[in-house]
Structures are given as C-alpha cells and as structure tokens.
A = this chain, B = another copy of it.
C-alpha cells in the first residue's frame, strides 16, 4: 500500500510518500517540504498549500493519507496555523476520495522507534534506516512526514482497512465521496470560469 504522510504546518509542511506492507521495510517514493512565507496573507498561504498537496495526491495516487493530529499544549498562536494547515491536508485526501487517518506524535514515535517519547534525532535515524536511505531526510518536517507514513503502513494498514470498511457503511460511502469530488471539480471549474469572466469589482 502507498501512503502519503503529512506533518502539517503553514510555514513548512512536511510531506512523505512511502510504499510497503505491515512488518516489512518500506520504500521511499518521495519527500518534500511545502513552504510559505509568513509575510503572505493567510488566504494565499492556505491556497498555496492546498494546490501543492492536491497536486501531490493526484500525482502519487496513494491508497490513504496520514496526517499528524494537532495538539493544543503548544504555543497557541502556532497551533492555530497548524490546525488550519492540517484541515487543508485532510481535505486534500478526502476530496480525492481517500481514507484519511490522524495520528498523535507519540503514536508515530512509538511505531518507528518503539518509544513514544523518542526525540527528533532518534525518529530521523530510524526513518533513515527503515527506508534504507544513504543520508537522513532533511529538514526534520520531511522526516516526520515519512515517519507518519511508515506508521500508517505498519500500524494503520489494518486501521485504515477497518476505517474504509466502516466508511462504506456510513452516510458518506465511497460512491458519494466520488460524487462529492466530481461536484467539487465542477464547482471549482465553474468558479474559475466565473472568475475569468469577471473583469473587476461590481
């Protein structure tokens, strides 16, 4: 299974794509960091992230998306931006009709290092080893995103299948998700067309 992991952030958003099966070494497909200038307006920053993540999802066609769950114990100002970036990441997966799973930082650390309190260096070292990389992925946001993706393949593979099965029985079944995605594409196209028709302010 192919998983796209996202370590959400407005200034730096880590993205890592891996492929593998539970219990075996995973293969690195790509990692990257989507950046935006803190001086940019919030709408432009969110749009920039949305476009980048939508493109990554469309290009890599993962089976599911894993996003780090945002906690509130950090700096409150930063957390608001992180919460907004995580919404963009979750939407990018959901809009493509994919199952999206969130994990806490300690779940991810425990999955790749065996300890929920491991530090960043330890996580990066394990990610480097588990993906058979020659050098550690940089910056740390990318390593975290890869750890998330590995965590989902190993721990979440099952979770994700259960979630997918459950989703199929709920109101938002796969079919209606696809209908949503098509409706969205149509609405986006209509909005783009409306935008290009509109010359200036009314």
Contact = CB atoms under 8 A, between A and B. Distances in A.
Interface of A: 1-2, 40-44, 46-48, 50-51, 54-55, 57-58, 61, 63, 70, 72, 76-77, 79-80, 83-88, 90-91, 93-100, 102, 161, 163-164, 167, 170-172, 177-178, 180-185, 187-192, 194-196, 198, 201-202
A47 B94 contact: yes
Contacts of A164: 201
Contacts of A2: 202
Contact of A100 (B43, B98, B100, B196): B43
Which interface residue of A47, A190, A194 has the most chain B CB atoms within 10 A? A47
B41 A167 contact: yes
B181 A195 contact: yes
A47 B177 contact: yes
11 contacts: A1-B201, A41-B167, A43-B90, A47-B94, A54-B191, A84-B90, A98-B195, A178-B192, A181-B192, A185-B189, A188-B188
The interface residues of chain A, by DSSP majority, are classed as helix
Contacts of A57: 187, 191
Contacts of A76: 72
A46 B87 contact: yes
A198 B61 contact: yes
Given A41-B163, A50-B184, A181-B188, 12 more contacts: A1-B201, A40-B170, A43-B94, A44-B167, A63-B201, A63-B202, A79-B83, A87-B88, A96-B191, A97-B191, A178-B196, A185-B192
